[in-house]
Amino acid sequence: MGDCIRCGVNIFSVFRDKEKLHRVWGDGLVNAFYEAYSQLNYWIYPRVQGGRSVESANVRSAVSWKLHGSMAKLLRWYVVMLANARPVESGLAKRKRDPKVIISLTTFPARIDTVWLCTETLLRQRVKPDEIILWLAAEEFPGGLDNLPEKLLAQRDRGLTIRFRGDLKSHKKYYYAFREYPGEIIITADDDVFYPDNLVEELLKLHEQYPDCICCNRACRMVLNDARNIAAFTEWDKWAHGFEGPSKLLCPIGVGGVMYPPGAMHEDVLDKETFMNICRHADDLWLKLMSLRKGTDVVKSPVLPDALLSIPDGRKKALSTINVDAGGNDRQLEALLRRYDVRPDWLDAVASEKTTEVPDALEAATVER
């Protein structure tokens, strides 16, 4: 009980901190939610049904997911209140950069009524982008702007751009930005999470330090099998805690926000016939294979939270249902590896990559496919 009380005092001191209080009706409280959520999550995991058995891990995961849902609902209430009470005049930078920094995302009809909550957090960044573009499939919204909710349309006055293009599923979030803005810095984002207000700021800091690397907030670490090929996706280190790169073994996960500098991808990244045929639902894997073919390293931010809170919406169907739960990632990765040879020069170099921060079990991880 004493531990619980001390933990509670520590968590809720976040909201009493003077530096955050002066922004309590501003965007800083979103980050405070993340700090509180992180502290609660780390407190629950080692204490609920301790041990390393599968059963205890499942219990810990269930409790953590329940916490995630509760915090997400609370954060949703706050963002709605914030949008109504204190709308920002503009979510874009006053002085345009060269190259521009463009946030690019997509959504589909099942999420069109809630995507404005995500774009609201993108419009409230401390360091503002030059453009925020939401790409929609013309086939899914035949009435164009008339099919869209008022809250989303109203954000156009504050900097959101809405464009209609051909339907490429989740690949829309990067494809049209890469094609129409080839010389700009592109940050891809997902449509179903609340983003902290330092997302652009921290990714730009990382970009300044590693200008030729893909910069991300969350990443998996690929594992090599005994044949020294890329192992099945289910064998990868899904969080890569303690391993920040730069490395070709890191695979950026789009939900966290990913920054792509100009020239980071192989030119085949725009080969829509191929990706729609062999990895229609796995844009993260397609982008990873294209960066490997180009020889681009990935670096992960040590600052941003790697577990973002999802926007509550009972109607949505996440890609994780197809890719993770149904084994779609493994099938699509296998198809990509059959289509492209990604074993050459970089493989010997990354095979020896180690870090003292990564647990021993992850340092030389090799599995049989």
- The reported pLDDT for the residue numbered 48 is 41
Contact (CB, 8 A) for 359 and 240: no
- The reported pLDDT for the residue numbered 292 is 92
Of the three residues 85, 110, 129, the one that is the final residue of a domain is: 85
| pLDDT of residue 320 exceeding 60 | no
Q: Are 65 and 191 found together in one domain? A: no
In a domain, 57, yes or no: yes
Of the three residues 51, 85, 119, the one that is the final residue of a domain is: 85
Contact (CB, 8 A) for 251 and 236: yes
Q: Are 115 and 68 found together in one domain? A: no
In a domain, 90, yes or no: no
In a domain, 94, yes or no: no
Of the three residues 85, 109, 141, the one that is the final residue of a domain is: 85
Average the pLDDT over 205-230 and give the result. Answer: 91
Q: pLDDT-derived band of residue 313, with 50, 70 and 90 as boundaries?
A: confident
Q: Are 190 and 221 found together in one domain? A: yes
Q: DSSP secondary-structure letter at 113?
A: T
Average pLDDT, the chain: 79
Q: Are 290 and 180 found together in one domain? A: yes
For residue 135, which of 166, 101, 106 has the smallest C-alpha distance? 106
Between 82 and 340, residue with greater pLDDT:
340
Cα-Cα-Cα-Cα torsion 269, 272, 276, 282, nearest 10 degrees, comes to: 20
Q: Are 167 and 250 found together in one domain? A: yes
Average the pLDDT over 263-267 and give the result. Answer: 96
Q: Any idea which residue has 């496919």 for tokens?
A: 369
| pLDDT of residue 62 exceeding 70 | no
Between 3 and 235, residue with greater pLDDT:
235
**CB-based burial label for 248 (10 Å; 0-12, 13-18, 19+):** buried
| pLDDT of residue 330 exceeding 60 | yes
Contact (CB, 8 A) for 130 and 101: yes
Q: pLDDT-derived band of residue 83, with 50, 70 and 90 as boundaries?
A: confident
Find the range with the poorest average confidence among 11-20, 66-75, 114-123, 226-235: 11-20
Q: Are 171 and 272 found together in one domain? A: yes
Task: Of 13-17, 83-87, 228-232, 330-334, give the range with the top mean pLDDT.
Answer: 330-334
In a domain, 92, yes or no: no
| pLDDT of residue 178 exceeding 90 | yes
The span from the first CA to the last CA of the chain, in angstroms, equals 46
Distance CA 55, CA 25 (A): 42
Q: pLDDT-derived band of residue 216, with 50, 70 and 90 as boundaries?
A: very high
Which backbone phi and psi does 226 adopt, to 5 degrees? -65, -25
Average the pLDDT over 43-53 and give the result. Answer: 43
- The reported pLDDT for the residue numbered 290 is 95
Q: Are 290 and 203 found together in one domain? A: yes
List Cβ neighbours of 368 (8 Å cut-off, separation of 6 or more): 225, 226
The residue segments making up the domain with residue 23 are 2-85
Per the structure, the count of domains in the chain is 2
Q: Are 275 and 200 found together in one domain? A: yes
Distance CA 132, CA 285 (A): 24
Q: Are 38 and 112 found together in one domain? A: no
CATH code at position 292 = 3.90.550
In a domain, 93, yes or no: no
- The reported pLDDT for the residue numbered 22 is 38
Between 241 and 6, residue with greater pLDDT:
241
In a domain, 299, yes or no: yes
Contact (CB, 8 A) for 219 and 251: yes
| pLDDT of residue 252 exceeding 90 | yes
Q: Are 56 and 192 found together in one domain? A: no
Find the range with the poorest average confidence among 13-27, 83-97, 306-320: 13-27
Q: pLDDT-derived band of residue 312, with 50, 70 and 90 as boundaries?
A: confident
Q: Are 32 and 178 found together in one domain? A: no
Structure tokens at 118: 């995500």
Q: Are 66 and 211 found together in one domain? A: no
